[in-house]
Amino acid sequence: MARRRLDAELVRRGLARSRGHAAQLIAAGRVTVGGGTATKSATQVETSAAVVV
């Protein structure tokens, strides 16, 4: 499976306007990956991972 930075994946999925916006959402604790709260924009995630904002 392909892996991608979390901030870039949020933009690709249309869940954030930009990588900067994605970073703000992540820093605010509003993003979960696989049920756990994401803490870093650079986290590598599978493109098929469950990501929720």
Q: What is the pLDDT of residues 4-53, one digit of tens each?
A: 999 999 999 999 999 999 999 999 999 999 999 999 999 999 999 999 99
pLDDT at 30: 98
pLDDT at 36: 97
pTM of the model: 0.93
Domain boundaries, the chain: 3-41
CB 50 within 8 A of CB 33: yes
Element (H, E) at 26: helix 19-27
CB 26 within 8 A of CB 38: yes
CA–CA dist 42, 20 (Å, integer): 12
pLDDT at 1: 77
Identify any residues that bridge with 46 across adjacent strands, giving them in sequence order: 3
